[in-house]
Structure 1
Amino acid sequence: MAHYIGIDVGTGSVRAALVTSKGKIVTTATQEIEVSSPLPDYYEQSSENIWKSVIDTVKTILHTSGISKDSIHGIGFDATCSLVVLDKDSNPVSVSPSGNSTYNVVMWMDHRAKDQASEINDTKHKALKSVGGKVSPEMEPPKLMWLKKNLAETCWKDSAHFIELPDFLTYKATGSLSRSLCSVVCKWLFQADGSGKKQWDENFMESIGLGDLLLHNASKIGSTVLPPGEPCGVGLSHQAAAELGLNPGTSVGTSIIDAHAGVLGCLGCVPDDASFILPGMNNRMVLICGTSSCHMIMSEKPVFVPGVWGPYYSAILPDMWGNEGGQSASGKLVDFVVDTHPACEEAKTQAAQRNNHLHLFLNEILEKEAKFKGINSTCKLTHNFHVWPDFHGNRSPVADPSLTGMKSGLTFACDIQNLALQYLATIQSIGYGTRHIIEENVRAGHCVKVIYMCGGLRKNPLFVQTHADVTGIPIILPNEEESVLLGAAVLGATASKDFTSIQDAMLSMCGKGKVIMPNTQNTEYHQKKYTVFLKMLDHQREYQQIMDS
């Protein structure tokens, strides 16, 4: 039987999975990776640390499974949209203000380039149309501008390659410096459309002071661009094969951004009750919810949504357009609210005594509290407590990184019940943010009939049901919980040519799922809460205007 390896490099860990041609995950392995935050809004990593973790996880799944390397037909990589800097000998070049050469990766959530993002947005360049009208400081052009301005005599001078982390992984695996269409279109403003045009926008790059990156056939940022799943180079190099314990020449699929891998791992999933799902890959949103959240939707024609990235042509699936909304903090936000509450340690102790996950323990507290107060639904416990969730700025649909978080309804209460209340209100606020993104997509021309959900937060029943209730849209949970890893394996399967297309691989490997329907009894309550949610945005802007006047 053929097997494929999917490798997912997330914010805090590298994960690898061994997957069959029917999408069954045989085994997985996880290795934590380093994150450095030398200053507020600065987040850095080491590409050497990441690659070592890739090696460790691949060796672990091979050892654990006992599968022969001869049965591995393909490897696929996904990773966060982070910027890797290398010198002419492929050694790391420091991106840190401290000059620490260990850290040569500017992470996706690094917001040091806020001013540069504003400079780009002030140009109103036509290239911005493909990112909802505004770049985010999480994208690469503003980060490159920051490096050129602030580390001109070190990082900028010594650099030979600026490369997206997913493409760095295929480079380490194959020696090929080809770039993924997904990476450069979605995060670098590389231009691609249905006419067949695929090129760097020289006028745009010149307008933001990065025209020098196009010299020598754009050697620093890439001239060969391939669609996801296309074979990369000639497969595993001899060096990488020796490091990973695999055969040289094993097919390696062109990489994809981590959230986008979730699309590949979800959209081929068909639940037993699929009567409400329209044919085709459009009308389906994929919500990938982990440290942050991404809201992906495909369409056969381009749809331009203000404040939502895209439409991107063929960046995920061939000949289809993709839009990407997102929340810069979701899982990270829930953790922050819980971890900083005075009752957190007591809650963790009680959860451990019950051998329960902290979130599930808090879910139980909420159910008991609702029963004690005679309330027919736990969601209504937040009647007088409201949260605006943009503690790390707003990615979509407001596209304003300067926005901050808000809480309304604070008292002197600091017990476990209050912790559970704030936890619930935070989850609801993330759901209202998703609804806000969906409404802007629909207003622009999309149709959302169903939401596929994957990522770590899909394991929390409260999070899932809240999103269904808040949006009023059925949610599909694929039976295979590790959709992102599965999506990465789909890339390797596609590159191996065991399947005729990436869609063919998805339909074979994505399996079944279950449907979570909205509870319509809570619709009116959530409508009121959503109205308050939008009022909080208006109020924050009013406060800013008052203070700036």
Structure 2
Amino acid sequence: MALSPEVYYAGVDVGTGSARAAIADYQGNIIGLSERPITRHELKENHITQSSTEIWDAICYCVKTAIQQSGVDSSKILGIGFDATCSLVAINEKSNEPMAVGPDFDDSLENIILWMDHRAEIETNEINETNDDCLKFVGGKMSIEMELPKMKWLKNHMPKNMFNECKFYDLADFLTMKATGKETRSFCSVVCKQGYIPNGITNRNGWSKEFLHKINLPELAANNFAKLGGLDCVNGKYLTTGETIGPLNAKSAKMLGLTTDCYVGSGVIDAYSGWIGTVAASTNLPIPELIEQDKDKSGLSKATGRLAAVAGTSTCHICIEEKEVLVPGVWGPYRDVLGKSYWAAEGGQSMTGALLAHVLSKHPAYAELGIMSESSNLSKFEYLNSRLENLKKIRKERSVVALAKNLFFYGDFHGNRSPISDPNMRASVIGQSMDTSLDSLAIEYLAACEFIGQQTRQIVEKMEESGHNIKAIFMSGGQCRNGLLMRLLADCTGLPIVIPRYIDAAVVFGTAMLGAVAAEYALKDREGNEKPGTFAIKNPLLEKKFALDSVPASPYTAPTATTSVTSISAMNQRDGFPFPLTQIPRLTSSLNLTDSDDLDNNNDNSSSEGIISFNPSSTPQQQSLSDKRKNLPLQQEESVSDRLWRIMTQLSSTGSVIFPSDITHPDRKLLKTKYAIFLDQISTQQKYRDMVSKTEDAIASYLSI
């Protein structure tokens, strides 16, 4: 069953610092992309908030702008997907107005507690001290970054009358509610972040009244758990990834510049959308282990063994299995969050993107780095990679990796998410000198990259020890452009690394895939009914009134593609990608993303050649929608999970593979030794903290006498 050349799909992604929207066609080409920043506030340490009002406004701007860029009629966009960070949204239960989440409870616009907010340390510990059975499905302990501890904090600190008026959403579920007017919740949100257990796993089906009473949140259990979304098929509805909620309501359709014929897919957490947008990709070089696995599998089961590493402010490591696999310190297993009856596991590293930025900005040579990289017309990371290559020659070292052989960097500045699940972990560096030169910055940056690779190995090993069988890591995010980091990830883990076509846009591309699934439902519902939806905007590229009145000018969002939608193959042509095993190349990100003679703009999905074209004339010859409906009946025998996989494979392009060096390579041997030191740094820090804690307890006991 082929996708229609006359139907388009929208994806919306809300990250930590920005919202973005993409329009995709039936071949998986992104033909419109827009991004707008969103603010976050930290009025008090570890209290980090955002505004759902600001986020929705940013989404509407981005969708309209992406439609304008694509040049397609908005009436032909029949599906839209939403993803967002796993942040907690508080809304008034009766009025649907925002509710303040503090520390200033008079500011109702600040109604989101961001995922990285760490205010609920006491509440998290109290929840984990219950040792409730449900905790085994979050790696044994609930994380401070999850949403139930945040709700408990609100009960303890919010004025009582305000808490009683609240209902709560994961941000992705709030967005689908805003779009459709329906209170439908996603398994992805409630299972992963709110303690929901799907039916049939335990004798507690769904929300646990006993658990909520045990942690002193009986209010959440009242009225059949209405504040959390209700009971499935009683006063609530819950869907898995790949299922569809229904059409946009009239108000949201108008705000988004779409029509009420556009259907909304069940929402997902942003990292899970990154999994959707990457793991179905074919590869430019064969990965024998995946080929062997796929011989005996079909549908979504082919996605097992493929770990998605979705790298942004933090990095999430997601894979699925056909059976329940419990991994200490790794979130999950979560059933039904990625396809019906499949189990997902989620490891994670807090603040990886922020880690590299922090290492650079805090070094005395940072200003010099800015001058040198700018004068070289390179990014800071590109310049450092080149400087390391030069430094290797000057110091006559065996390799770049050997430059940091006696620097032992442990980088959990913001606590550990996986696999030791310890929010009190902090960074440590052994082997630093008083050197403040640019060369010392380059080597410290190298050590930080190595830390990311070593911690990824630790997460993968814990997963495999428990029963996962990971065969490849499918990367996404800006870190993919960093050749040094990708080489270290391959050599630390010993696994192939797959770089996607859409580096930064993999997450929003994943939600566009969910939009494609929703569009099939829309087509089915439109059979025999030619009545158009409301608020269609014809040819928005030419509608000056639409462009001027509905899409305000923004210096942040350019009217052309950004580097985040660059095809990896465009970089391949310029830099000899994939990486040779014996070198760490420079990857350019300074591409001119206008139509140019030196780049192939062919968007055929059978190849990832070229960059994305924003020329409406490049759209393939369209066939009539009525003909397409005849060709696109929803197959009754096709499961929800297999439909999702079909869409993923049809829209995914080819990724490029970086294979690890041979196990006998000197760098592999050095990294293995340093991995043992990495593990020792963890246990030593925990030992030291325990020694200090016992001393402080003894002092407190003495002073109380």
Q: Could you tell me the TM-score, scaled by structure 2's length? A: 0.76
Task: Give every structure 1 segment of 4 or more consecutive aligned residues whose post-TM-superposition deviation is greater than 6 Å.
Answer: none
User: What is the Cα deviation at residue 98 of structure 1?
Assistant: 2.2
Matched residues in 2 for 1:291 and 1:193: separation?
34
Residue 532 in 1 paired to residue 677 in 2? yes
Residue 208 in 1 paired to residue 215 in 2? yes
1:214 partner amino acid: A
Is the CA contact (8 Å cut-off) linking 2:38 and 2:55 kept in structure 1? yes
Is the CA contact (8 Å cut-off) linking 2:32 and 2:68 kept in structure 1? no
Tell me the residue number matched to 1:276: 289
Tell me the residue number matched to 2:651: 509
Name structure 1 gaps, 5 residues minimum: none
User: What is the Cα deviation at residue 101 of structure 1?
Assistant: 2.3
Pick aligned residue for 1:119 from 126, 132, 144:
126
Aligned length: 547
Pick aligned residue for 1:97 from 89, 99, 103:
103
1:345 partner amino acid: A
Q: Secondary structure at the match of 1:30?
A: strand
Matched residues in 1 for 2:490 and 2:193: separation?
30
Q: Secondary structure at the match of 1:191?
A: coil
Pick aligned residue for 1:106 from 102, 113, 118:
113
Please identify, of 4-13 and 349-358, the stretch whose mean Cα deviation from structure 2 is larger.
349-358
Residue 359 in 1 paired to residue 371 in 2? no
1:225 partner amino acid: Y
Matched residues in 1 for 2:242 and 2:129: separation?
36
Is the CA contact (8 Å cut-off) linking 2:85 and 2:171 kept in structure 1? yes
Residue 312 in 1 paired to residue 334 in 2? yes
Tell me the residue number matched to 2:154: 147
Pick aligned residue for 1:376 from 364, 388, 398:
398
Tell me the residue number matched to 2:52: 47
- Call closer, same or farther: CA 1:319–1:156 in 2, change over 3 Å: same
- Which of the two has higher C-alpha Rg? 2
Matched residues in 1 for 2:200 and 2:353: separation?
36
Where do 1:143-542 residues align within 5 Å?
A: 143-153=150-160, 155-159=162-166, 161-192=167-198, 198-223=205-230, 224-232=237-245, 234-272=246-284, 273-277=286-290, 278-279=293-294, 280-481=302-503, 482-497=505-520, 501-520=643-662, 521=665, 522-542=667-687
Residue 66 in 1 paired to residue 85 in 2? no
1:427 partner amino acid: C
1:139 partner amino acid: M
Matched residues in 2 for 1:368 and 1:530: separation?
26
User: What is the Cα deviation at residue 125 of structure 1?
Assistant: 0.3
User: What is the Cα deviation at residue 540 of structure 1?
Assistant: 0.4
Matched residues in 2 for 1:236 and 1:383: separation?
56
Matched residues in 1 for 2:26 and 2:125: separation?
46
Is the CA contact (8 Å cut-off) linking 1:194 and 1:319 kept in structure 2? no
Q: Over aligned residues, Cα RMSD in angstroms? A: 1.5
User: What is the Cα deviation at residue 152 of structure 1?
Assistant: 3.3
User: What is the Cα deviation at residue 179 of structure 1?
Assistant: 0.7
Matched residues in 1 for 2:12 and 2:481: separation?
20
Matched residues in 1 for 2:277 and 2:650: separation?
11
Is the CA contact (8 Å cut-off) linking 1:237 and 1:249 kept in structure 2? no
Q: Secondary structure at the match of 1:316?
A: coil
Is the CA contact (8 Å cut-off) linking 2:84 and 2:171 kept in structure 1? yes
Is the CA contact (8 Å cut-off) linking 2:244 and 2:264 kept in structure 1? yes
User: What is the Cα deviation at residue 39 of structure 1?
Assistant: 1.8
Matched residues in 1 for 2:353 and 2:161: separation?
35
User: What is the Cα deviation at residue 154 of structure 1?
Assistant: 6.1
- Call closer, same or farther: CA 1:355–1:248 in 2, change over 3 Å: same
List per-residue Cα deviations over 1:7-56 (Å, max 9, x = no partner): 11000001111111221111211100001111222211011111111011
Pick aligned residue for 2:689 from 536, 544, 547:
544
2:412 partner amino acid: D
User: What is the Cα deviation at residue 163 of structure 1?
Assistant: 0.5
Matched residues in 1 for 2:336 and 2:385: separation?
41
User: What is the Cα deviation at residue 194 of structure 1?
Assistant: 5.7
Q: Secondary structure at the match of 1:37?
A: strand
Q: Secondary structure at the match of 2:57?
A: helix
1:226 partner amino acid: L
Is the CA contact (8 Å cut-off) linking 1:85 and 1:95 kept in structure 2? yes
Name structure 2 gaps, 5 residues minimum: 1-5, 231-236, 295-301, 521-631, 695-705
User: What is the Cα deviation at residue 420 of structure 1?
Assistant: 1.2
Matched residues in 1 for 2:200 and 2:321: separation?
13
User: What is the Cα deviation at residue 193 of structure 1?
Assistant: 5.4
Matched residues in 2 for 1:369 and 1:398: separation?
35
1:529 partner amino acid: K
% identical aligned pairs: 37
